[in-house]
Structure 1
Amino acid sequence: MSRRMKRAMHSVLMPFGIFVVLIAFWQGVTQLFRVPEYLLPAPTKIAAAIAAEPKLYLYQSGYTLQATLSGFALAVVLGVGLAILIVQFKAVEQTLYTLLVSLNSIPKVAVAPLFIVWMGTGLNPKIAIAAMIAVFAIVIDMVHGLKSIDPEIIDLGRTARGSAVMIIWKIRFPHALPALFAGMKVGISLALIGAIIGEFVAANRGLGYTILVAQGQFDTVRMFSALSILSLIGLLLFYAVVVAEIVFVPWRTAKLRASA
């Protein structure tokens, strides 16, 4: 096994070990203090509820995951494209950047019903809401990464008759990759939140819909089951981005380890 893969495995396994310890602590508290199930069900109760209906939770998780990943992918494409436009054109920076900041200040829960009106109650509005919430973090970090390169390197590329496209692709973009992955780490969690917001507003599938139905039935165990799966999905998605960064930006992790 290569050293890079070992680093990736270590970055993933360590947090999961901490997660297991927290679950064990949760189980101990519920048993020691005899916490009522309607207030805080024990992890064993939650696991039993999931095991009793695995197909249901798998189906609902798949729908939420599809909306999350689609929205995240759209956010990455839009975020990188917008960041390049902002860096390359001063007029775009003065207009679009300000517009993005103002739009980001609007509560997404308030905007979500509009997407339902525009796109219906299917998967598309969930994807759009997930992308809208995730894109801002990606744009901000990508712009910072594209701008943080030494101007002398850019001048050297122009001296070598490099076109604007080549300078972006060969010089700016590789330098901005660590910043892009930083934005993606935040964005993947925000995309999951966006998908759940969309399901809260209008849906007949997904983990957000499951939580709403369980709330109406005062089924605390099912609510915690859906929440537990959501937290696990969020953890897996975040560390999938971490592993991707280790694989595709190895010089970044090597630099961080050298400075530690």
Structure 2
Amino acid sequence: MSGIRFLILASGLTAFWQLVVMITDVPPYILPGPLPVVRALILHWPTLQNHLMTTLAEILAGLVLGTVLGSCCALTMILLPLMRRWLLPILVVSQAIPVFALAPILVLWFGYGMASKVAMAVLIIFFPVTSSFYYGMRRTRPELLELARIMGGRPLSVLRWIVIPSALPALGSGLGVAAAVAPIGAVVGEWVGSSSGLGYYMLHANARMQIDIMFAALAVLSVVSLGLYFAVDTMVARLIFWEKKENEDESVA
């Protein structure tokens, strides 16, 4: 059913797009219609595919690395209260810095290769993963912790069997957000400086006034973002199977 809703929504947005182009009579070098974009997507698919592989590798590497670093940071703040007093303010203040403004610096430090784009994706992913996992662990049910204390549970055992499983739904939400925004970091890094990738290809097409190709690259990037989000959402739903069971029990009750 969700697939049918997605097709209906995509068809409605496409029809609205075509309607706007027809009513406003906007020049195609500003807003091309859906058909020229589809035509450009088909004609230039081999080139788009090559650039897509570069961007996808940057996104996946940034997603994995950002998830690992964010999870480790959240665990550190839970296990070491002294470190939490230092890390939590730094984590909050870091969000006041425009991440996009750091892209030229990252390119200067890491070069024009994949490393600077992965670093940009990690910076965007790090905060939602860290904050969701940390606050998820902080919201562990007190009665469970009290029961573990009464039964003589060791701190690491309590963390492993109670605190972390209780925080996995929150971490799953953070991962969904991270998967949706991960392409932003990679593409912004490619805009600043690169020789391949969808972001680079979009700039190249824009400079040549090939707006249909630019929109085709944007469409591919949108599909990648949606695919990553739904893949992570499906994976989390299968891993945290008890959450669905509890929700079903509550609805029945």
Q: Same fold judged by TM-score > 0.5?
A: yes
User: C-alpha displacement at 1:116, in angstroms?
Assistant: 1.4
Q: 1:39-85 CA deviation, whole Å, 9 max, x = no partner? A: 21111111110100111111111111111111011111111111111
Structure 1 equivalent of residue 224 of structure 2? 233
User: C-alpha displacement at 1:219, in angstroms?
Assistant: 1.8
Structure 2 equivalent of residue 92 of structure 1? 83
**CA RMSD of superposed structures (Å):** 1.9
Q: Does the 8 A contact of 1:12 with 1:239 survive in 2?
A: no
Aligned length: 251
User: C-alpha displacement at 1:125, in angstroms?
Assistant: 1.1
Alignment of 1:171-210 (within 5 A): 171-210=162-201
For 1:22 and 1:66, the matched residues in 2 are separated by 29
Paired residue type of 2:15 = A
Q: 1:151 aligns with which of 127, 142, 151?
A: 142
Structure 2 equivalent of residue 110 of structure 1? 101
Structure 2 equivalent of residue 41 of structure 1? 32
Q: Does the 8 A contact of 1:87 with 1:143 survive in 2?
A: yes
For 1:181 and 1:14, the matched residues in 2 are separated by 23
Structure 1 equivalent of residue 240 of structure 2? 249
Q: 2:59 aligns with which of 37, 51, 68?
A: 68
User: Is 47-56 or 157-166 further displaced after alignment?
Assistant: 157-166
For 1:65 and 1:43, the matched residues in 2 are separated by 24
Paired residue type of 1:197 = V
User: C-alpha displacement at 1:177, in angstroms?
Assistant: 0.9
Q: 1:179-217 CA deviation, whole Å, 9 max, x = no partner? A: 001101111122111111110111111111011112211
CA distance 1:114–1:29, change in 2 (3 Å):
closer
For 1:132 and 1:259, the matched residues in 2 are separated by 39
CA distance 1:211–1:232, change in 2 (3 Å):
same
User: Is 42-51 or 149-158 further displaced after alignment?
Assistant: 149-158
User: Is 190-199 or 244-253 further displaced after alignment?
Assistant: 244-253
Q: TM-score, normalised by structure 1?
A: 0.89
The answer to whether residue 185 in structure 2 is matched with residue 165 in structure 1 is no
The answer to whether residue 214 in structure 2 is matched with residue 223 in structure 1 is yes
The answer to whether residue 234 in structure 2 is matched with residue 212 in structure 1 is no
SS of the equivalent of 2:26 reads coil
SS of the equivalent of 1:38 reads coil
Q: 1:109-154 CA deviation, whole Å, 9 max, x = no partner? A: 2212222122111111111110111110111111111011122312
Unaligned runs of at least 5 residues, structure 2: none
Q: Does the 8 A contact of 1:138 with 1:180 survive in 2?
A: yes
Paired residue type of 1:182 = S
For 1:11 and 1:256, the matched residues in 2 are separated by 19
SS of the equivalent of 1:74 reads helix
User: C-alpha displacement at 1:245, in angstroms?
Assistant: 2.3
Structure 2 equivalent of residue 137 of structure 1? 128
User: Is 29-38 or 84-93 further displaced after alignment?
Assistant: 29-38
Paired residue type of 1:114 = I
Alignment of 1:11-26 (within 5 A): 11-26=2-17
SS of the equivalent of 2:28 reads coil
Q: Does the 8 A contact of 1:72 with 1:134 survive in 2?
A: yes
SS of the equivalent of 2:136 reads helix
For 2:178 and 2:110, the matched residues in 1 are separated by 23
CA distance 1:123–1:32, change in 2 (3 Å):
same
For 2:222 and 2:35, the matched residues in 1 are separated by 16
Paired residue type of 1:80 = S
